[in-house]
Amino acid sequence: MTLLSVFIYVVVFIFSAIIHEVSHGYVAHLRGDNTAKLMGRITMNPLSHIELFGSILLPAMLLFLKSPILFGWAKPVPIDSRNFKNPKLDIPLVSLAGPSANLLLALVSGLGIRFIGMFPNFEVGFGASIQSFLYIMLIINVILTIINLIPIPPLDGSKVATYFMPRDVAVKYMNLNSFICLIALLLLLSSGGGWTLLHPVINFLVVTFSGIPY
């Protein structure tokens, strides 16, 4: 992969990760917690969200290593669940906001690819470049959606899962060591086994949205 390709992937990833975090902050604001808003985190300014390792170095490293799955993160928006109107419900809602935003970006990208495909003359010209960009946007956001819904702390899926747990179990579950869980996840994603598990789901969404297999 060329440096230009890596640059494009990382830029698209950073944009998608920022949308993810802003969505968390905005829904938290709607549900009564203004922490992210007061700290200036409900903004598209990259400087407010970029984390050097998670937003740039890790995605670039995975791309150079030809990992089948691109993964990383932006700085999590600060959320104080004590301010929520109904914490039991609002925590899963806020957690789902990020993956839902990524899924919407993926859908819009896929529809854009299908729309360009309706105009063969445009598709073989400048439209091909736009299609390539939209396909990168599609892939990254599908992967971000799926990975973030895995119910392992500190991913969003773990907070969604607590809605279905008794309170004491949920507290113990969320107190699992996030660093160890994250390392285990990265090892799984970088292995053939992780790709075998996730590829059918990724491919299903990519084909459904764009008509192009991954």
Active site residues: 21
Radius of gyration of the chain (CA): 18
In angstroms, how far apart are the furthest CA atoms of the chain? 61
What single-letter amino acid sits at 129?
Answer: S
| Angstrom distance (rounded) from CA 84 to CA 94 | 10
- Pair 73, 16: CB distance under 8 Å: no
- Pair 210, 113: CB distance under 8 Å: yes
H/E segment holding residue 16 = helix 3-30
- DSSP secondary structure letters along 162-189: GGGS-HHHHHHHHTS-HHHHHHHHHHHH
- DSSP secondary structure letters along 60-84: HHHHHTT-SS----PPPPP--GGG-
- Residue owning tokens 């990208």: 109
What single-letter amino acid sits at 118?
Answer: M
